[in-house]
Amino acid sequence: MILRLIFRQLHPDFINVRTRIHLKNLGTTDKNLLTKSSTKRFRECMKNNRFMNVLLKAKEENIAVGAVNIFNYLTAEAAVKAAEEIGVNLIIQTSAGTVEHFGAQKLYDIVDAARKGAKIEVALHLDHCRNKELGKLCADTGWDSIMMDFSHLPFEENIANTREMAEYAHSRNVAIEGEIGVISGVEEDIVSDEAVGADFEETMEFVERSQIDAVAPAIGTAHGIYHGVPKINFELVEKLGKEKTPVVIHGGSGLSAETFTRLIELGGRKVNISTLVKNAYLDKTKELVLSGEKFAPIPFDTEVENAVKEEVKKHLEVFSGKRTSF
């Protein structure tokens, strides 16, 4: 008994681990009870989770939080400075590939250094991950939330895999985002040639059964650069926006300020931007190199950082209702 008490102190999720092993021989009903229990515990203290806190505040203020994909310290610092200058909260996102490149702990430290001392709240989020072990590693390392993307799988498999990861995340006070439908375009090594739109009933079933904390439905947006005007399902966003679970808008790079504003007014609470960050970084770098001027490394980096900051800043201003056009 004494050893068991000591073990529980060292391993707060001990009960979940024991029960999970035991559940291999039990039915679905008991497994559902376990998941609801871990989810209930998480949601009772969700304001202690940065990701959920910034989304809940955004919902109260009827604005959206910008979720900015970064890939090094320079872009992380640029995003934080942009948010601080206009006084809005921020979500810094890291792709699975960026985590694999730096290593989870090193990347966490990079982001933590960038947000240290910030006068705003900055959450750290894992974007589009299909690797369960990588998702668990980020949850264990300190990410505030993880986005597990099993949308390429059949509906029931999407639910089952997402729910498994929700149970793991919630037991560690980590939030989880899931995707329903297929968002077209390229997101790192995830390529989707054709979009598969989500519908309201299916999305609500997915949310309820998977126990996710934020939902990214396929509404007609796309990852990467748009070729033509996207056909967005505003009606779906409006319906979902009236529900409790925050709605996430993927494929934000390239949308007009008017489109962003409408999506946010209808209930979009998190807007992802990635391609425009990369383009601002690379375009400014190319411009400086081709200029023929000789730059010392620090002034060079400062120029690039400012370019990224300004691009992020104008989008955050739209998301927070401080700006109506780009």
- pLDDT score recorded for residue 40: 82
If pLDDT is split at 50, 70 and 90, which confidence band does 137 have?
very high
**148: which DSSP letter?**
E
Residue 187 has pLDDT above 60, yes or no: no
Distance CA 94, CA 103 (A): 11
Which of these, 139, 141, 140, 161, lies nearest to 150 by C-alpha position?
161
Burial class (CB in 10 A: 0-12, 13-18, 19+), 38: buried
Residue 69 has pLDDT above 70, yes or no: yes
DSSP reduced 3-state for 144? coil
pLDDT digits (tens, 9 = 90+) for 147-158: 999 999 999 999
H/E segment holding residue 51: helix 50-61
Burial class (CB in 10 A: 0-12, 13-18, 19+), 255: buried
Tell me the pairing of strands 190-192 and 222-223: unpaired
Q: In this predicted structure, which of 50-59, 181-190, 234-243, 252-261 has the lowest mean pLDDT? A: 181-190
CA angle in degrees (0–180, nearest 5) for 85-310-146: 80
CA distances from 156 to 31, 146, 153 (A): 16, 20, 8
pLDDT digits (tens, 9 = 90+) for 35-54: 455 788 888 877 789 999 99
If pLDDT is split at 50, 70 and 90, which confidence band does 22 have?
very low
Residue 6 has pLDDT above 50, yes or no: no
Which of these, 320, 305, 321, lies nearest to 91 by C-alpha position?
320
Which of these, 67, 39, 54, lies nearest to 172 by C-alpha position?
39
Catalytic option among 30, 109, 112, 127 = 127
Percent of the chain exceeding pLDDT 70 equals: 82
Our answer to whether residue 127 is catalytic in this structure is: yes
If pLDDT is split at 50, 70 and 90, which confidence band does 225 have?
low
Residue 27 has pLDDT above 80, yes or no: no
- pLDDT score recorded for residue 47: 73
Distance CA 197, CA 46 (A): 30
- The answer to whether 310 and 79 are in contact (CB under 8 A) is no
- The answer to whether 53 and 212 are in contact (CB under 8 A) is no
- pLDDT score recorded for residue 227: 53
- The answer to whether 285 and 52 are in contact (CB under 8 A) is no
Domains of the chain in sequence order: 42-319 (3.20.20.70)
Residue 217 has pLDDT above 60, yes or no: yes
Burial class (CB in 10 A: 0-12, 13-18, 19+), 234: middle
pLDDT digits (tens, 9 = 90+) for 268-277: 999 999 999 9
Residue 224 has pLDDT above 70, yes or no: no
Q: How far is CA 9 from the centre of its chain?
A: 31
Residue 73 has pLDDT above 90, yes or no: yes
Percent of the chain exceeding pLDDT 90 equals: 74
- pLDDT score recorded for residue 214: 98
The structure tokens listed for 312 are 């992020």
The structure tokens listed for 145 are 């939330």
